[in-house]
């Protein structure tokens, strides 16, 4: 489990989305269902579609009815994203289940999948900042600023990738411990959200 492979899949997925550039295009994967590569591919697709939904909803002249539809899609996407992260953690935990932690192993502050979640988003930022840095209809000042930001993002990706690889190494050696803390999101569950509960009972 190395992040250079993760980043390749994220870049591949983002490029695939932009061949069509449609938030309505259905996800398709060349990877075996529920394999690690498939989960990473799907994770990146969810993030990429949501990125563009977030752009659409910020259109100043957007009709309220359309904005509400997009907001509902973003809410569902956030839940799908969380569910996918937890599936990734299940995969990682299963791969590491035979490792016996050392007595002095430390508890990591986040699970590997939530770190990988940040890596997925970082790849999206890099793609779109590169677009801006190379945009021919933008001013030179704009391109220069975006080129500088792009260098910062690339360094951040390198650092985060290294940190995740180090975490995996420590987990595999029993020098670190991770626990899965479910997000327990309440706002999408009618049994937990009083507004949804009242709506269902009407």
Q: Which residues contact 52 (CB under 8 A, 6 or more apart)?
A: 21, 23
Task: For residue 177, report the phi and psi dihedrals to the nearest 5 degrees.
Answer: -125, 140
- SS3 category, 33: coil
Give start and end residues of each alpha helix (H) in 134-193.
140-172
Average pLDDT, the chain: 93
Q: Does residue 74 register a pLDDT over 90?
A: yes
- Top-confidence residue, 186 or 132: 132
Full-model pTM: 0.89
Number of H helices, E strands in the chain: 6, 2
What is the rounded average pLDDT of the residues 187-201? 70
Which H/E stretch holds residue 40? helix 36-57
Calpha distance 96→90 (Å, rounded): 10
* Interval 134-171: pLDDT, tens: 999 999 999 999 999 999 999 999 999 999 999 999 99
Kindly tell me if the per-residue pLDDT of 184 is higher than 80. no
- Report the C-alpha gap between 6 and 36 in whole angstroms: 9
User: How many angstroms separate the CA atoms of 41 and 16, rounded?
Assistant: 10
How many other β-carbons are positioned within 10 Å of the β-carbon of residue 188? 13
Percent of residues, the chain, with pLDDT higher than 90: 85
């Amino acid at each position: 489990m190395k992040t250079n492979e993760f980043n390749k899949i994220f870049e591949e997925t983002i490029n695939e989305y932009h061949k069509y550039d449609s938030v309505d295009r259905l996800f398709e994967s060349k990877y075996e269902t529920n394999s690690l590569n498939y989960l990473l591919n799907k994770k990146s697709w969810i993030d990429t579609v949501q990125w563009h939904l977030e752009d659409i909803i910020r259109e100043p002249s957007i009709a309220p009815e359309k904005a509400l539809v997009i907001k509902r899609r973003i809410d569902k996407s956030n839940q799908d994203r969380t569910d996918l992260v937890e599936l990734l953690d299940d995969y990682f935990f299963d791969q590491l289940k035979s490792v016996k932690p050392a007595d002095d192993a430390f508890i990591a502050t986040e699970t590997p999948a939530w770190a990988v979640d940040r890596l997925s988003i970082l790849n999206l930022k890099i793609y779109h900042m590169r677009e801006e840095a190379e945009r021919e209809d933008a001013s030179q000042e704009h391109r220069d600023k975006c080129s500088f930001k792009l260098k910062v993002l690339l360094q951040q990706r390198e650092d985060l990738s290294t940190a995740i690889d180090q975490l995996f190494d420590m987990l595999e050696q029993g020098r670190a411990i991770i626990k899965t803390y479910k997000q327990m999101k309440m706002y999408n569950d009618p049994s937990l959200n009083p507004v949804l509960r009242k709506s269902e009972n009407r």
